[in-house]
Amino acid sequence: MPHFDTFTLIRWLHVASMALAGGAAGIILILVGFEESREDLHGLTSVLWKRSAAWGFRLAFILGIVLLVMLQRAGAQPFQALWLHWKLPLVVLLLAFSEMAPKALAARKRGAPLLAFLLFLLVSFVSVNSTAFGTRAPKPGLGSYTGTVEGAR
């Protein structure tokens, strides 16, 4: 019987929800062109964004926070990796533009959904190429002292 690790399962759900939301956002941006030419489709992209892309990005954000908390509680130091310092502000911006996208799509404007999609691509790039950003050297502190204590032999 296979053993499922909770961290691995949550990480997989995080990646899957992010991929599904990004794919939905891409398809919705393609559908915007059809919405302009046919009046009976007006409002379709707004509803699709609310029900697929927005919820996917929300779920990915929540699962990402859960993963960070799990890493912190396990004793890891995830903020030593510099890619996370790039990813977190981009994710917050992605979530903000994703929340603005349905109203923008209803008003037949593409700015917010397009920026949300581009931020999705940028966040994915940063995550996949995380080793290119390097890590910070740990600061000397309580858990990182490797020298000897004076008087102890």
* Residue 140 forms part of a structural domain: no
What pTM did the predictor assign? 0.81
Which of 38-47, 51-60, 64-73, 139-148 is the least confident region? 139-148
As for how many domains the chain has, the answer is 1
Q: What is the C-alpha separation between 15 and 125, in angstroms, rounded?
A: 13
Calculate what percentage of the chain has a pLDDT beyond 70. Answer: 86
* Residue 105 forms part of a structural domain: yes
pLDDT top residue among 135 and 49? 49
* pLDDT 10s digits, 95-119: 999 999 999 998 888 899 999 999 9
The separation between CA 128 and the C-alpha centre of its own chain, rounded to angstroms, equals 12
pLDDT top residue among 141 and 75? 75
The separation between CA 115 and the C-alpha centre of its own chain, rounded to angstroms, equals 14
Helices 82-106 and 6-37, packing angle to 10 deg: 30
pLDDT of 141 > 70? The answer is no
Tell me the pLDDT of the chain averaged across its residues. 85
Using an 8 Å Cβ cutoff, are 83 and 126 in contact?
yes
Residues ≥6 apart with Cβ < 8 Å to 127 = 83, 87
pLDDT top residue among 82 and 40? 82
pLDDT of 149 > 80? The answer is no
* Residue 28 forms part of a structural domain: yes
pLDDT of 153 > 90? The answer is no
- Token output for 84: 């996370």
Would you state the pLDDT for residue 1? 55
Q: Is 6 exposed, middle or buried (0-12, 13-18, 19+ CB in 10 A)?
A: exposed
Q: What is the C-alpha separation between 11 and 80, in angstroms, rounded?
A: 19
Mean pLDDT of 37-65: 90
Domain housing 62: 6-132
Using an 8 Å Cβ cutoff, are 123 and 90 in contact?
yes
pLDDT of 87 > 80? The answer is yes
